[in-house]
Amino acid sequence: MNINSLDLNLLQTLDILLEELNVTRAAQRLNLSQPSVSAQLARLRTEFNDVLLLPGPRGMLPTARAEALREPLRLALEALTLAVAPPDVFNPAKSTHIWRIAATDYMSSALVLPALKMIRDAAPQSRMAVFALHPPQVTQQLEKNELDVVFHTGDNAPPTLHQRKLFSERYVLVGRYDHPQLQQPPTLDHFCQLEFVMVSPDGGGFSAATDNALAKLGRERRVVLSVPHFLFMLEVLANSDLVAVLPERLVRHTPHLLVLTPPLDIPGFDILMLWHPRLHRDPAQQWLRQQIAASL
C-alpha cells in the first residue's frame, strides 16, 4: 500500500461499499455506474492486496481485512470532511480568540480604546494583546502569524498587505488649560516663541511635520523636550508650560488640556488598518476589522 498513489475517492467508495455491502446500491449513492464502482473495487483490491468484499447471497460479504478497515476508515473520512468543510460562521459570543494588534500608544488611544468596548460586549470570552508597533517588521510579523491587525500611518504602508483607511487625522496645538500664553489663539509669531515637547518614537528626534511646515514659511520653533511616548507627553503638558502639536484624536477626551487650531497649515496624515492576505477571508478576522471600523 502506497499512500501517495492512493486515490482518496477510492476510500470514499470503500466506505460506502462497506455500508451498503452491495455494489449496485453503492454506485447509486456515489452517482456512478455499477461497472465504474466494480472497477474501483478492483483497484481497491489491488491497493489493499485483499479481495475486501466477497460475493454472497443478495450482495457482498466483507473480509476480515475489510471489517478491520471499516471503523478507522469512517473516522478518517469524517475528520477529512470536517477539515475541508467551509469555515463556520464566526460566533463572537462563544469565541475565545486572542486578538493581536500592533499600534503606537497614540493609535491604541485613538483606535483600540473605542473598539475595546464593542469587542468586549460582543465577544466577552475573547482577549486582546496590543503590541508595540515596529513599522519595518510588520510585514514579517503578519506573515509569521504573530499579529492579526496593524495600525499604520498612510505613508510607507507595505504594498503587499491588505489595507483599509480608517480616518484622516489633523494636528492641533495643545497646552495645559490655564496656560498663560494660550488664552488667545496664538499668532504665528507667538507660536514660534512657545516652548514645545514632541514625541519621537525612535527617540532623540527634535523635528517633525510641524517643523517641515514652518521651514516652508522660513520659520522655526523651539522644541525643548523630546519623549518616546504620548502618555508621558500628556503628563508633561498638564504639569508645565510646554505645549505640543498633537494628533487631534489623542486629546479629544483629555479634559485638563487646551486644544487650539495651530496658526499655520500642518499636513495631517491617514491612519490605515493593515492585515495579511491570508487572513482576508477569515470570518473571525473579518469580524474584528468590522468592529474596529465601526467603532470610529
Partner DNA sequence: ACGCGCTTCGACATTCAGAT
Partner DNA sequence: ATCTGAATGTCGAAGCGCGT
- Judged by the rule CB under 7 A, the positions of this chain that interact with DNA are 7, 9, 22-24, 31-36, 38-43, 53, 55, 57-60
98: which strand partners? 127
Q: Which is nearer to DNA, 31 or 96 (CB)?
A: 31
Q: Which is nearer to DNA, 25 or 170 (CB)?
A: 25
User: How near is the Cβ of 46 to DNA at its closest, in Å?
Assistant: 10
Q: Phi-psi bin for 203: left (phi > 0), alpha (psi -120 to 50), beta?
A: left
User: How near is the Cβ of 198 to DNA at its closest, in Å?
Assistant: 57
Q: Which is nearer to DNA, 39 or 296 (CB)?
A: 39
Number of CB atoms found within 10 A of residue 4's CB: 4
Q: In what order do the strands lie in the sheet with 244-247?
A: 244-247, 171-176, 257-260
User: How near is the Cβ of 212 to DNA at its closest, in Å?
Assistant: 51
Q: Is the dihedral of CA 269, 275, 276, 282 positive or negative?
A: negative
User: How near is the Cβ of 39 to DNA at its closest, in Å?
Assistant: 5
User: How near is the Cβ of 27 to DNA at its closest, in Å?
Assistant: 8
E-strand ranges in the chain read: 53-56, 59-62, 98-103, 127-132, 149-153, 162-169, 171-176, 195-199, 222-227, 244-247, 257-260, 269-275
Distance in angstroms (rounded) separating the CA atoms of residues 60 and 13: 14
Q: How far is CA 238 from CA 25, 26, 79, 188, in A?
A: 82, 79, 60, 23
User: How near is the Cβ of 209 to DNA at its closest, in Å?
Assistant: 50
Q: Which is nearer to DNA, 33 or 145 (CB)?
A: 33
* Residues 6 or more apart in contact with residue 155 via CB below 8 angstroms: 269
Q: Which is nearer to DNA, 60 or 198 (CB)?
A: 60
Q: Which is nearer to DNA, 35 or 185 (CB)?
A: 35
